[in-house]
Structure 1
Amino acid sequence: MPQRWPDSPSVAAGAASRVMAPRSKTRVVARERVVGQLIEARRKRCIVLQGPAGCGKTTTLLAWREALLPLGFDLAWLTLAPEDDDLSSFVDGLVASLAQVDPAICREAAILGGRGADDEAVERTVIALVRAIASRSCDLALVIDDLDHVTNARSHRALQWLIDYAPQNLHLVLVSRGNVPVSLGRLRDQDLMLELNMRDLRFTFAESAQYLHAQLGEVSERDARAMHELTDGWVAGLQLFAIQLKRRRTTAGAADVTASLASTHLHDARAFGEYFEGAVLSRLSASEVELLVRTSVCARLCSSLCVALVGDEQPANEVLALLARLETDNLFIAQIERVGNETWYRLNPLFRETLLERLRTRSEALQRAVHHAAWCWFRDHGLPEEAVRHALHAGESAAAADLVLAVARDLQISGDLRKLVSLMHLLPHAEIETRVELRLWRLQLELYARDFEACATTLARLEADIPEENAHARYRLTLLRAAVDVQRDDADSVAARLPQILAAPADATSMSIGARNNLLSWLYMRLGEYDEARAFQTDATRPLLAGSPLMGTSAGVLNGRCMAGFSHALEGQFLQVERISRDVLAEADERGSSAAEPACLAAAQLGEALYEFNDIAGARRLLEDRVDVLERVSIPDSVVRVLTVLAAAHWAEGHRLDAFAYLERLEEYASRHGLPRLLAHSLAAQVLQHLQCGQFDDAEGQLARLDTIAARLRPTRPHAWYDVHALAQRSHVNWCIAHEDFEGAALRLPALIALCGERGWQHRVVQLRMQAALVDQRRKRADAARENALMGLRLGHRLGLVRSVLDAGPDIVTFAEQVVRGMPGVSADQNPQENGGDPVLAFYVDRLRAAQESTAALVSTTNETALARGAAPNVAETLSERETKVVSLLAQALPNKKIARTLGISPETVKWHLKNIYGKLGVSSRDEAVARVRDLGIDT
Structure 2
Amino acid sequence: MPSRKPSSTTPPGQPPAASAAQRSGAGTVARERLLARLLEARHLRCIVVTGPAGAGKSTLLAAACQALVPLGFGIAWCTPGAQDDEPTRFLQGLLASVAQVDAAPLRETANQLGAAMATETDPDAVERLVITLVRGIAAHQRDLVLVIDDLHALRHPAVLDALQWLLDYAPPNLHLVLLSRGSVRLSLDRLRSDAQTLEIDQRDLLFTPAESARFLASQHGCIDASTASTASTASSLHERSEGWVAGLRLLALDWERKQQEPGRAAPGQPFAGLPARDALALTAYFEQAVCAQLLPAELDTLVRAAPCQRVCASLSAALAGTADAPAAVTAAATLLLRLDSEGLFVVRTDHQSAEPWYRLHPLLRDALLIRCGTLPVPTRQAVHARAFAWFRDRGLLPEAVHHAVQSGAPAQAAALVDQCAPALLVRGERRALAALLRQIPHAQVQASVSLQLWLARTQFFERDFDACTQTLEALARNLPADATAHRFHVAVLRTALSVQRDDSGAALAMLPQLLQVPGDADPLAVGARHNLLSWLHLQQGDYEQARRVQQDATPLMVDGAPLVSTPSGSLQGRCLIGLSHAMEGQMTQAGRVLRGVVADAEQAGKACADARHLALSLLADVLYELGDAQQARALLEDKVGLLERMTIPDAVLRVYRVLAAAHWQAGDAPSAFAYLERLEAYATRHRLDRLLAHRLADEVEYRLMLRDLPAAQAALARLAPIGARHTGGPAGGTLAEIGEVTQRARIRLAVALGDLRGAAARLALLVADCAARGRQRSVVHLLVRSAVVDAQRGHHAAARAMLLDALQRGHRLGLLRSLVDADPMARRMLDALAQSGPLDPVLAFYVERLLALRTPPAAAPEAAATQVPQPRAGSTAAAGQEAFSAREVEMLRLLAQALPNKKIARALALSPETVKWYLSRIYGKLGVASRDEAVARVRDLGWDTEGAPTPPA
Aligned residue among 572, 592, 598 for 1:585: 598
Give the distance between the partners of 1:201 and 1:481, measured in 2 at CA: 65
2:326 paired with 1:316: yes
| Contact 1:51–1:197 (CA under 8 A) maintained in structure 2 | no
- Counterpart residue number, 2:464: 451
Give the distance between the partners of 2:363 and 2:828, measured in 1 at CA: 81
- Counterpart residue number, 2:849: 847
Aligned residue among 516, 522, 530 for 2:535: 522
Higher-Rg structure is: 2
- How far residue 370 of structure 1 moved from its aligned partner, in angstroms, is 1.2
2:632 paired with 1:619: yes
2:509 paired with 1:509: no
- Counterpart residue number, 2:838: 836
- Counterpart residue number, 1:488: 501
- Counterpart residue number, 1:159: none
TM-score, with length taken from structure 2: 0.63
- Counterpart residue number, 1:85: none
- Counterpart residue number, 2:218: none
Distance 1:461 1:816, change over 3 A: same
| Contact 1:570–1:760 (CA under 8 A) maintained in structure 2 | no
| Contact 1:515–1:554 (CA under 8 A) maintained in structure 2 | yes
- Counterpart residue number, 1:750: 764
- Counterpart residue number, 1:299: 309
Greater RCO (Cα-Cα under 8 Å, separation 6 or more): 1
- How far residue 378 of structure 1 moved from its aligned partner, in angstroms, is 0.5
Q: What residue identity is the alignment partner of 2:518?
A: P
Give the distance between the partners of 2:575 and 2:488, measured in 1 at CA: 24
Secondary structure of 2:636 counterpart? helix
Distance 1:704 1:348, change over 3 A: closer
TM-score, with length taken from structure 1: 0.64
Give the distance between the partners of 2:484 and 2:77, measured in 1 at CA: 72
Q: What residue identity is the alignment partner of 2:809?
A: L
Map of 1:214-363 to 2, 5 A cutoff?
220-222=90-92, 239=152, 241-242=153-154, 270=284, 273-274=287-288, 277=291, 280-281=294-295, 286=297, 290-312=300-322, 315-324=325-334, 327=337, 330-331=341-342, 334-337=347-350, 341-346=354-359, 356-363=369-376
Distance 1:585 1:212, change over 3 A: farther
Give the distance between the partners of 2:314 and 2:38, measured in 1 at CA: 35
- Counterpart residue number, 1:84: none
Give the distance between the partners of 1:601 and 1:421, measured in 2 at CA: 23
- How far residue 514 of structure 1 moved from its aligned partner, in angstroms, is 0.5
Give the distance between the partners of 1:226 and 1:371, measured in 2 at CA: 55
Aligned residue among 623, 626, 629 for 1:610: 623
2:777 paired with 1:917: no
Give the distance between the partners of 2:773 and 2:412, measured in 1 at CA: 53
Distance 1:349 1:447, change over 3 A: closer
- Counterpart residue number, 1:367: 380
- Counterpart residue number, 1:576: 589
Give the distance between the partners of 1:425 and 1:344, measured in 2 at CA: 26
| Contact 2:35–2:60 (CA under 8 A) maintained in structure 1 | no
Distance 1:378 1:810, change over 3 A: same
Distance 1:674 1:346, change over 3 A: closer
| Contact 2:689–2:722 (CA under 8 A) maintained in structure 1 | yes
Deviations 1:899-926 (A, max 9, x none): 99xx9x9xx9999987543445677799
- Counterpart residue number, 2:788: 774
- How far residue 755 of structure 1 moved from its aligned partner, in angstroms, is 3.1
- Counterpart residue number, 1:379: 392
Distance 1:470 1:545, change over 3 A: same
Q: What residue identity is the alignment partner of 2:314?
A: S
Give the distance between the partners of 1:509 and 1:690, measured in 2 at CA: 51
| Contact 2:808–2:843 (CA under 8 A) maintained in structure 1 | yes
| Contact 1:525–1:533 (CA under 8 A) maintained in structure 2 | yes
Aligned residue among 440, 443, 463 for 1:427: 440
- Counterpart residue number, 1:804: 818
Distance 1:351 1:652, change over 3 A: closer
Deviations 1:293-333 (A, max 9, x none): 43343333233323322335872234314523652573355
Distance 1:325 1:648, change over 3 A: closer
**Larger deviation, residues 424-433 vs 368-377:** 424-433
- Counterpart residue number, 2:807: 793
| Contact 2:620–2:635 (CA under 8 A) maintained in structure 1 | yes
Secondary structure of 1:337 counterpart? coil
Aligned residue among 667, 670, 680 for 1:667: 680
| Contact 2:391–2:397 (CA under 8 A) maintained in structure 1 | yes
- How far residue 496 of structure 1 moved from its aligned partner, in angstroms, is 1.0
Deviations 1:785-842 (A, max 9, x none): 2222222223323433221222133343343243345x2xxxxxxxxxxx51533222
| Contact 2:79–2:150 (CA under 8 A) maintained in structure 1 | no
2:399 paired with 1:389: no
Give the distance between the partners of 1:342 and 1:438, measured in 2 at CA: 34
Secondary structure of 2:853 counterpart? helix
Give the distance between the partners of 1:609 and 1:460, measured in 2 at CA: 39
Q: What residue identity is the alignment partner of 1:304?
A: S
- How far residue 485 of structure 1 moved from its aligned partner, in angstroms, is 1.0
| Stretches of structure 2 lacking an aligned partner (at least 5 in a row) | 1-19, 42-49, 66-74, 98-145, 161-245, 248-281, 862-871, 919-942
- How far residue 522 of structure 1 moved from its aligned partner, in angstroms, is 1.4
Give the distance between the partners of 1:467 and 1:328, measured in 2 at CA: 59
- How far residue 489 of structure 1 moved from its aligned partner, in angstroms, is 0.8
Q: What residue identity is the alignment partner of 2:810?
A: G
- How far residue 62 of structure 1 moved from its aligned partner, in angstroms, is 14
Give the distance between the partners of 2:84 and 2:777, measured in 1 at CA: 79
| Contact 1:487–1:635 (CA under 8 A) maintained in structure 2 | yes
Distance 1:510 1:459, change over 3 A: closer
Give the distance between the partners of 2:654 and 2:289, measured in 1 at CA: 67
- Tell me how many residue pairs correspond in the alignment: 693
Secondary structure of 1:766 counterpart? helix
Give the distance between the partners of 2:897 and 2:606, measured in 1 at CA: 27
Give the distance between the partners of 1:682 and 1:50, measured in 2 at CA: 61
Distance 1:475 1:756, change over 3 A: same
| Contact 2:763–2:782 (CA under 8 A) maintained in structure 1 | yes
- Counterpart residue number, 2:242: none
- Counterpart residue number, 1:463: 476
Give the distance between the partners of 1:661 and 1:523, measured in 2 at CA: 31
Give the distance between the partners of 1:842 and 1:215, measured in 2 at CA: 98
- Counterpart residue number, 1:81: none
Distance 1:812 1:350, change over 3 A: closer
Distance 1:937 1:527, change over 3 A: same
- How far residue 517 of structure 1 moved from its aligned partner, in angstroms, is 0.3
| Contact 2:424–2:430 (CA under 8 A) maintained in structure 1 | yes
Secondary structure of 1:343 counterpart? coil
Distance 1:451 1:325, change over 3 A: closer
**Larger deviation, residues 205-214 vs 666-675:** 205-214
Give the distance between the partners of 1:214 and 1:578, measured in 2 at CA: 78
Secondary structure of 2:350 counterpart? strand
| Stretches of structure 1 lacking an aligned partner (at least 5 in a row) | 1-48, 71-144, 147-174, 179-195, 228-232, 250-266, 824-834, 864-879
Aligned residue among 561, 580, 584 for 1:548: 561
Map of 1:729-744 to 2, 5 A cutoff?
729-744=743-758
Q: What residue identity is the alignment partner of 2:623?
A: L
- How far residue 698 of structure 1 moved from its aligned partner, in angstroms, is 3.9
Give the distance between the partners of 2:486 and 2:159, measured in 1 at CA: 68
Give the distance between the partners of 2:746 and 2:318, measured in 1 at CA: 75
Q: For the aligned residues, what is the CA RMSD?
A: 4.9
- How far residue 66 of structure 1 moved from its aligned partner, in angstroms, is 12
- Counterpart residue number, 1:199: 59
